[in-house]
Structure 1
Amino acid sequence: MDSNRFIIAAHCVNRPGIVSAVSTAIFGLGCNILDSQQFDDTESGRFFVRMVFNHDTVTLDEVRAVLEPVMSELDMEWTLRDREHRRKVLLLASRFDHCLGDLLYRWRSGDLEMDVVGIISNYPRDTYKQITMGDIPFHHLPITKETKPQQEQQITDLIEETGAELVVLARYMQILSDQMSRSLSGKCINIHHSFLPGFKGARPYHQAHERGVKLIGATAHFVTGDLDEGPIIEQDVERISHRDTPEGLVRKGRDIERRVLARAVRYYLQDRVFMNGNKTVVFPE
């Protein structure tokens, strides 16, 4: 019989005895801890922990009932998830389709364990003729400066209707309003085609070319009300030379963007990402 496998992700103000209290409660259930990662951030004074544990018969509700008083005593912010639960994810894209296509491929191949509950774009569906979407609901929500509030309300409605637990901006080239950014705090990941904090805003590869950089990169980060300022989850770079044109940088950058966004989404789906002020704690695989 396959055992039930659970993941707990938690953080709180650091104090002695946290690991002991949590692991003792898990042991009391007769569970076996398979993996445990922890980090004590001495700068913020906060403690972060991720544990994976299993049991042949114990249920999620039974685990939650035992852990709730312990977590309350520790004043923990925590989540508990059955490893088999696949998070519902809503994908947003604009004209560029490379990140969207890559996420859908990784989802279908099993690399990203999620349920794609919809695709939203401010471009019509025939923009993505080369991508196989199958029966995934597609929502064309055009936007102008005047209709932005109404369009964002439509997105909000779809998030609620689908029960989306994560929103991914897969090169969705629209700036979210402060109100929407706040409502999606901690559950919206964006890919920026630059190695932040450098070259923010539009045409970052052209900015980089003008500065003669020798490395280009991409950054996946949580969305906040401050443009391209959200806590960084994942980054990667690639070396370039004086021979590269702006168009060449864009082409190379697309490959970086795909892998950076995919890693950030996978870390989130696996409960490895914690917001920590204007930074993140990301436990490695």
Structure 2
Amino acid sequence: MTSTNHAKPWIFTASCPSILGTVDVVTRYMAEAGNYVEEIHSFDDSESKNFFIRIEFQPQNENFSAEQFNAEFASRAAEFDMEWQLTEPQHRQRVAILVSKYDHCLNDLLYRHRTGQLNIEIPVIISNHPDLKELAEWHDIPYYHLPISAETKPYQEAEIVKLLDQYDIELVVLARYMQVLSPWMCEQLNGKAINIHHSLLPGFKGARPYHQAWEKGVKMVGATAHYVNNDLDEGPIIAQGIQTVDHAYYPEDLVSKGQDVERVTLFNAIRYHIEKRVFLNGSRTVIFSH
């Protein structure tokens, strides 16, 4: 029987080596345990020899518990060396936003959070500038201004990590946080921080990239959202966006169009992450977008 109350589903995610029977062991248990599968995605990577699966399901047993599920499934998963995670429907990830002076991504995330498009909690905003404090206060979110210089960088980053621990943060979003993180900081945030940056072809780096792009007659602007690692702007990619432009776009127009793409791309990346649609596969990602 199908569920008729449109309740938010439980989410099951798992990965393991590519072995015959991986789909069967999961779906068979779901059926035997009385869990109605509403959505299922799986992928077997023939290159890495890894298998990935994501299931949304509704328990039909009113006495369903995560503890019982994990205990019963453990013996079956062990045969496949399978690692899995069960996410409760009511769980809202606690997200810290790091930002500098550009407010377009922060504004967009706060709006989507306020309207329920992003099912997250935002208990803290951290910045190396004071400029966006009023925006945070309007949303009744604590705002920490932590200035940074070459000399104070180790102390400033240590203070950020303390705040992440204090607020029990599960995910960090760099919403145009215009600082290069130290190797130590990248290690602290490995796998639990998402960054957004422009994607212009060819690659224009340094100051005023959109003005550089305009001078070369760029024909597209884009954005890339990725996990943070110690390779500057080269972590595993989660989402990308692109828009075409032409000769009628002046530098200011390119900036505006680029910021639009950044907003949507960052939102998609966060949504994929919190909905457990992203799997790390070496330096790449597997994304079950829909």
Matched, 1:107 2:134: no
Match of 1:219 in 2: 224
**In the alignment, structure 1 residue 37 sits paired with structure 2 residue 41:** yes
SS of alignment partner, residue 19 of structure 1: helix
Matched, 1:8 2:28: no
**SS where residue 43 of structure 1 aligns?**
coil
The answer (yes or no) to whether the contact 2:11–2:87 under 8 Å persists in 1 is yes
What residue in structure 2 maps to residue 280 of structure 1?
285
* 86 and 130 in structure 1: CA distance in 2 versus 1, 3 angstrom threshold: closer
Alpha-carbon contact 1:4-1:57 (below 8 Å) kept: no
Query: For residue 63 of structure 1, what is the aligned residue in structure 2?
Result: 69
Tell whether the 8 Å contact from 2:137 to 2:143 is kept in structure 1 after alignment: no
Is contact 2:201–2:220 with CA below 8 Å preserved after alignment? Answer: no
Q: Residues 58 and 194 (structure 1 numbering): CA distance in 2 closer, same or farther, change over 3 Å?
A: same
Unaligned runs of 5+ in 2: none
In the alignment, residue 246 of structure 1 is paired with which amino acid? P
Matched, 1:118 2:118: no
Q: Matches of 1:236 and 1:115 in 2, distance apart?
A: 25
Shift of 1:26: 2.1
The yes-or-no answer on 1:135 pairing with 2:133 is no
TM-aligned CA deviation for residue 105 of structure 1: 0.4
- Whether contact under 8 Å (1:217, 1:236) holds in the other structure is yes
Q: Distance in 1 between matches of 2:118 and 2:165?
A: 22
Q: Does 1:233 align with 2:262?
A: no
Tell me the SS of whatever aligns to 2:276.
coil
What amino acid sits opposite 1:206 in the alignment? H
| 1:231-284, Cα deviation, whole Å (9 max, x unpaired) | 111111111112222222111111111111001101111000111122211112
* 1:91-240 → structure 2 map (5 Å cutoff): 91-124=97-130, 126-129=131-134, 133-195=138-200, 198-200=203-205, 202-240=207-245
1:127 deviates by: 3.2
Aligned pair count reads 284
Report the TM-score, using the length of structure 2 for normalisation.
0.91
Residue 107 and residue 189 in structure 1: after superposition, are their counterparts in 2 closer, same or farther (change >3 A)? Answer: same
- 1:23 pairs, out of 1, 23, 27, with 27
CA distance, structure 2, for counterparts of residue 197 and residue 278 of structure 1: 23
Q: Which residue of 2 aligns with 1:264?
A: 269
> Per-residue displacement from partner, 1:143-164 (whole Å, max 9, x unpaired)?
1111111111111111111111
- Quote how far apart the aligned CAs of 1:185 are: 1.5
TM-score (norm 1): 0.93
The alpha-carbon distance between structure 1 residues 196 and 240, as it changes in their structure 2 partners (threshold 3 A), is closer
CA distance in 2, matches of 1:154, 1:206: 35
Closer/same/farther in 2, CA of residues 7 and 168 from structure 1, 3 Å limit: same
Per-residue CA distance 1:63-92 (angstroms, 9 max, x = gap): 222223333332223221012111111111
* Root mean square deviation, CA, Å: 2.0
Deviation at 1:228, TM superposition (A): 0.8
